Structure 1
Amino acid sequence: MTAGSFSSRDVGDPGPCDVCVVGAGPAGLLVGLLLARAGVRVTVLEKHGDFLRDFRGDTVHPSTLDVLDELGLGDRVDALPGRPVRALTATFADGTFRVADFSRLRIPHPYVLFLPQWDLLEMLAAAAAEYPTFLLLRNHAASGLLFDTPGGPARGVVATVPAAPSGRPEATRRQAEIRARLVIGADGRHSTVCAALDAAGRALTRHEFGTPMDVLWFRLPRWPDDPEGVALHVGAGRMLVLIDRGHYWQTAYLIPKDGREETLAAGTGALRAGVAALAPWLAGRVGAIVDAEDVAFLPVRLDRLRRWHSPGVLLIGDAAHAMSPVGGVGINLAVQDAVAAARMLAGPLRSGAGTAEVTRVLRAFQRRRWFPTAGTQLLQRGLGRGLIGPALAADAPVRSPRAVRLLDRQPALRGLAGRLVGVGLRPEHVDTPAPRQAPAHAPASPS
């Protein structure tokens, strides 16, 4: 046991589990659901009390929709307020070009579904709670890992949790332990699990690739006669990505790397003018950007751990390989990680496999998922060098590259681009759905 940790009995013991998942995003909830469906005892920790946050990654790709269908959740997805997008366009100084066409794909879901992520997460949490071996603990923020011996495998997670009110501010949060045979870090690019491994002297080397841009996010009103879908506008020194969310445009304003302070110092007036210059049809509504409070900042990272696991620990999704927002593929890759991890780990965990055998599975998992991850990152790096970087460095109007014009002329190539974005290099699948059982506990802990 690590020094200074406290027993979870202090705050209500959830009991030991086979797997403790840190992070209740799409990958964390899905890996928890799939493992619980296979009879593995799973506890998922979520540091917030709810999912009501303004996520930027609200894309649900065709291969993810296939996974949800395979789990029997297609009807539940259909009931959510999603908006299907079937094509991507890019606008340059010399015109607007079609660059990806999902409608050409011969798959069950030939579109990308733009869906508020909180709705997707609540749906996944409710579906997972129907399995008696699943437990979601909200308001549980992972703060470290448990080790029974200095050189031994991780044996669980230390979390800060709500404490009963006592009138003392320092007593509003306490520590608890969730003991587990395996910890899965699905907690994003600033992973607490990865940091805990570093603190324990088990650092995992990270390969940074670098990106040419950062992103400012904001919303603009969408009018009924606006174009539909996702559009890219490319100008000198700036780029604009517009994501159709029905009644508003989720807008990404790409700026040169580390250019946030300079952009904001120029004032929101300059930002509004830049948006209007890129997309003149938005000029009448850029007033929705009132001040800096209306603008969120995303520092873009593109990196990959050389090794995604340590004895007793597996990292998936952005915790193992942070993706740039290009193509919105990060969530899809994380979901595919979750599906492959659950499929490969369920049998060994259910049969009581020891640390050595589980570690062999973790190595096999990384080998399987390395190609689609590295291949996708290679494509993102190519777009950064060939299109995004030159455009953000330009001081004159940017004309369309030859590759973009070729995509516009060749429907088959647009379909291939749609497959790379929407399906990916190695989609994963689940087994035949298991029968549902009545939940053994509430889907979430009291806040």
Structure 2
Amino acid sequence: MTEAVRAAADSSEADVCVVGAGPAGLLLGLLLARAGVRVTVLEKHADFLRDFRGDTVHPSTLDVLADLGLGGRVDALPGRRVRELTVTFADGTYRVADFSRLRVAHPYLLFLPQWDLLEMLAAAAAEYPTFTLLRSHEVTDLLVDPAGGPVRGVVATTSTSATPGPAARRVEIRARLVVAADGRNSAVRAALERAGRGLARREFGAPMDVLWFRLPRWPGDPEGLAGQVGAGRLLVLIDRGHYWQTAFVIRKGGRDASVAAGIDALRAAVAGIAPWLADRVGAVADWDDVAFLSVRVDRLRRWHAPGVLLIGDAAHAMSPVGGVGINLAVQDAVAAARLLAGPLRAGAGPDELTRTLARIQRRRAIPTAGTQLLQRAAGRGFIGPTLAADTAVRAPRLVRLLDRAPFLRGLPARVVGVGLRPERVSPAPADHAPIPT
């Protein structure tokens, strides 16, 4: 079916209500619908046309999409394949990761506009009769059993400040399970806290924040994914074809100081780290061209409550180191769909569903904690000292070793591109094939 529009109704029902139509939320909705589960995905915006920074699609995610028969659709999107990561220090440029050494079907990172990926996933999911996507539906609360029972659904409004229109209208989506895939500022998690069912969180800290902006990319520029290291400064450049998606890494809490120093100081800093960009930093006209990411690394001690599961950044906020946040969230979604589909189709009761939610967390907790541990180590051992340095930074011994030993460059590529515990999709039940298109 095409995306169902239920704006005329004040309530609806589903087996599962997924909050957040990002890559993990839409993929979870697709996988559950593929298994014959009635699933409704809520997205607070009217479309996906926003300036995403998380545009990396990793090899393990590409494998999942290929397993679903979506490889051809992905290939048709305007993506940029990157097979190598290099970092430039004061003493030269070094190769630190080589994705072409991975023994996987897709040995590369794919950078593509996330809105294109999301539209493709939404269209694929809409081919299943049990899938519903409701745009312009912002979750404001949970339907909580006053007697202490499980969460029974969500409350949403049908308009937001980003989508002008008639006055907001209250809508209830009743569901046996609510899945929060709505990011580090999760509305579902906030609603649990208001209801007195908050989930404890461990915070690990991070030494940096990030300023994001675009710079023109010209013929003859380097290709791929590149890091540039200067005295007290770090720049990450993502090759997007006609422009560089640029991350200027600053000390934690340094946003106000950067703004106070002025946009000219930012341009000069970029040119100082990467002189070959000096003649194009003027493309950053003012602070409206700069987006800010407050970096956070944390993890819920428990990812679920009766009737609710949290995945991706809603359960574990990741550092941008390695760009692995989307990949971890997608793997959460694949594992959740595989473990939930059977119990949901069999009509499992609240207790059995709660045990299943605990199984999902047990499966995903170790790769999540391990990835965060590596990110924290990179923060302590490299990023923090680099941002504190007041002299030119030379390549560390490990970086020089990776550059000299090609076979070793496959190790960081595997951690970034595949992950510590990749997930694969289960075959679709024979009686729940997609509607022919």
Whether TM exceeds 0.5 here: the answer is yes
Find the partner of 2:102 among 102, 105, 112. 105
Q: Distance in 2 between matches of 1:147 and 1:250?
A: 42
Counterpart check, 1:26 vs 2:43: no
Counterpart check, 1:237 vs 2:235: no
Find the partner of 2:377 among 382, 407, 412. 382
1:75-106 deviations in Å (ceiling 9; x for gaps): 00000000000000111111110000001111
- Greater displacement, 394-403 / 169-178: 169-178
Find the partner of 2:194 among 193, 199, 220. 199
DSSP 3-state at the match of 2:229:
strand
Q: TM-score, normalised by structure 2?
A: 0.96
Aligned 8 A contact 1:11 1:176 in 2? no
Match of 1:259 in 2: 254
CA shift at 1:433, angstroms?
4.3
CA shift at 1:410, angstroms?
1.1
Q: Distance in 2 between matches of 1:108 and 1:348?
A: 31
1:205-231 deviations in Å (ceiling 9; x for gaps): 110000000000000000011110010
Aligned 8 A contact 1:104 1:110 in 2? yes
Counterpart check, 1:278 vs 2:273: yes
Aligned 8 A contact 2:11 2:172 in 1? no
Find the partner of 1:38 among 17, 35, 40. 35
- Greater displacement, 351-360 / 14-23: 14-23
Flag the 1:9–1:188 CA change in 2: closer, same or farther, 3 A. Answer: closer
Match of 1:403 in 2: 398
Counterpart check, 1:353 vs 2:348: yes
Match of 2:140 in 1: 143
* Number of aligned positions between the proteins: 427
Residue type matched to 1:415 in 2?
G
Match of 1:218 in 2: 213
CA shift at 1:9, angstroms?
9.3
Find the partner of 1:208 among 196, 203, 206. 203
Match of 1:445 in 2: none
Find the partner of 1:71 among 62, 68, 71. 68
Match of 2:300 in 1: 305
Match of 1:153 in 2: 150
Counterpart check, 1:15 vs 2:6: no
Counterpart check, 1:134 vs 2:103: no
Find the partner of 2:434 among 433, 436, 443. 436
CA shift at 1:170, angstroms?
10
DSSP 3-state at the match of 2:318:
coil
Match of 1:328 in 2: 323
Aligned 8 A contact 1:230 1:243 in 2? yes
Find the partner of 1:94 among 86, 91, 96. 91
Q: Distance in 2 between matches of 1:69 and 1:433?
A: 14
Match of 2:50 in 1: 53
CA shift at 1:150, angstroms?
3.7
Flag the 1:220–1:350 CA change in 2: closer, same or farther, 3 A. Answer: same
Residue type matched to 2:356 in 1?
V
Q: Distance in 1 between matches of 2:132 and 2:22?
A: 15
Q: In percent, how many aligned pairs have the same letter?
A: 74
CA shift at 1:255, angstroms?
0.2
Aligned 8 A contact 1:204 1:306 in 2? yes
Residue type matched to 1:147 in 2?
V
Aligned 8 A contact 1:103 1:110 in 2? yes
Q: Which aligned segments of 4 or more residues in structure 1 are displaced greater than 3 angstroms?
A: 8-11
Q: Distance in 2 between matches of 1:137 and 1:188?
A: 18
Q: Distance in 2 between matches of 1:177 and 1:118?
A: 27
Aligned 8 A contact 2:35 2:428 in 1? no
DSSP 3-state at the match of 2:331:
helix
Q: Distance in 2 between matches of 1:38 and 1:136?
A: 17
Q: Distance in 1 between matches of 2:189 and 2:10?
A: 25
CA shift at 1:162, angstroms?
4.0
CA shift at 1:120, angstroms?
0.2
Q: Distance in 1 between matches of 2:11 and 2:222?
A: 50
Q: Distance in 2 between matches of 1:227 and 1:417?
A: 21
Match of 2:263 in 1: 268
Aligned 8 A contact 1:24 1:44 in 2? yes
1:117-138 deviations in Å (ceiling 9; x for gaps): 0000000000000000000000
Match of 1:391 in 2: 386
Flag the 1:233–1:176 CA change in 2: closer, same or farther, 3 A. Answer: same
CA shift at 1:148, angstroms?
2.8
Residue type matched to 1:333 in 2?
L
Aligned 8 A contact 1:15 1:178 in 2? yes
Residue type matched to 1:43 in 2?
T
- Greater displacement, 52-61 / 398-407: 398-407
Counterpart check, 1:248 vs 2:248: no
Q: Distance in 1 between matches of 2:55 and 2:62?
A: 13
Task: Mark the runs of 5 or more structure 2 residues left unpaired by the alignment.
Answer: none
1:296-327 deviations in Å (ceiling 9; x for gaps): 10000100000000000000000000001111
Q: Distance in 2 between matches of 1:9 and 1:187?
A: 21
DSSP 3-state at the match of 1:360:
helix
- Greater displacement, 88-97 / 312-321: 88-97
Q: Distance in 2 between matches of 1:292 and 1:23?
A: 28
CA shift at 1:14, angstroms?
5.8
Aligned 8 A contact 1:141 1:160 in 2? yes
Task: Mark the runs of 5 or more structure 1 residues left unpaired by the alignment.
Answer: 1-7, 164-168, 440-447
Q: Distance in 2 between matches of 1:236 and 1:66?
A: 39
Q: Distance in 2 between matches of 1:343 and 1:431?
A: 6
Match of 2:365 in 1: 370
Q: Distance in 1 between matches of 2:379 and 2:6?
A: 50
CA shift at 1:11, angstroms?
4.0
CA shift at 1:15, angstroms?
2.6
